């Protein structure tokens, strides 16, 4: 059995930004900016990340040159003789990048859930974005024959399905498990809340 067959297959990816075709921001540069904000020093940030001062300075210089306004500036004076700080734009960019990473993580979770469903059985149904809602099981209440399974979608909306107890066991449905609800147009029932 090859290594790929022994290891669990997973969907993975990373977010990075480019200006033109030049690398601008990725996980490493964002962490460097965060460390500069924490320490007030490029050299201390570089040490904390296990990188050379020159590599850190080159990264800061590249980011500042590719930005409309600088993200990092040097300060003078003060009790310790100055240092390095993130500008307001720098803090905004770090926050926006981290929010984008969170959204991207949700997207990857949907892809993972889709992959599991689409590869779980021979001849799995073909689906489209219109009839597949992916998220995590937030509640699973077992009844005598059927279970009520609540799937929380990205953004907090929920879908509730009635599934046989046997299917719940076979699919491994439990709170926290990623899953997708497949909706057949001819089987949709609409109701209003009481």
The domain that contains 119 carries what CATH number? Answer: 1.10.10.10
Measured from the Cβ of residue 70, the count of other Cβ atoms closer than 10 Å reads: 15
Going residue by residue through the chain, which has 194 residues, state the pLDDT in tens, using 9 for 90 and above: 455 455 666 778 889 999 998 999 999 999 999 999 999 999 999 999 999 999 999 999 999 999 999 999 988 765 656 789 999 999 999 999 999 999 888 888 777 766 665 565 544 555 555 677 888 999 999 988 889 999 998 888 898 888 888 888 888 889 998 888 877 766 667 777 76
Question: What distance in Å separates the CA atoms of residue 178 and residue 117, rounded to the nearest whole number?
Answer: 10
Bridge partners of 162, per DSSP, are 148
pLDDT, position 99: 94
Rg (CA), the chain: 24
- For residue 194, is it within any domain? no
Question: What distance in Å separates the CA atoms of residue 74 and residue 86, rounded to the nearest whole number?
Answer: 9
Residues 15 and 109 in one domain: yes
Question: What domain range is 171 assigned to?
Answer: 129-187
Question: What distance in Å separates the CA atoms of residue 26 and residue 34, rounded to the nearest whole number?
Answer: 12
pLDDT, position 111: 75
Residues 72 and 85 in one domain: yes
pLDDT, position 1: 44
Residues 114 and 180 in one domain: no
- Give the total number of structural domains in the chain: 2
Distance (Å) of CA 129 to CA 111, 134, 135, 154, 182: 11, 10, 13, 14, 10
Long-range contacts: 7-12, Cβ < 8 Å, 24+?
A: 9/115, 10/112, 11/108, 11/111, 11/112, 11/115, 12/108
pLDDT, position 123: 44
Question: What distance in Å separates the CA atoms of residue 172 and residue 66, rounded to the nearest whole number?
Answer: 48
């Amino acid at each position: 059995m090859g290594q790929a067959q022994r290891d669990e297959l997973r969907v993975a990816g990373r977010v990075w930004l480019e200006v033109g075709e030049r690398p601008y921001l990725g996980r490493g540069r964002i962490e460097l900016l965060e460390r500069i904000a924490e320490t007030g020093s490029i050299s201390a940030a570089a040490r904390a990340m296990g990188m050379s001062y020159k590599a850190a300075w080159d990264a800061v210089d590249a980011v500042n040159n590719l930005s409309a306004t600088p993200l990092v500036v040097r300060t003078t004076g003060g009790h310790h003789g100055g240092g390095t700080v993130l500008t307001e734009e720098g803090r905004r960019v770090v926050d926006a990048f981290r929010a984008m990473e969170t959204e991207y993580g949700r997207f990857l979770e949907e892809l993972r859930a889709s992959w599991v469903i689409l590869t779980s059985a021979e001849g799995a149904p073909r689906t489209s974005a219109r009839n597949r809602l992916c998220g995590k099981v937030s509640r699973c209440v077992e009844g005598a024959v059927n279970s009520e399974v609540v799937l929380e979608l990205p953004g907090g909306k929920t879908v509730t399905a009635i599934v046989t107890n046997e299917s719940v066991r076979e699919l491994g449905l439990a709170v926290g498990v990623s899953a997708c609800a497949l909706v057949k147009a001819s089987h949709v029932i609409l109701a209003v809340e009481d």
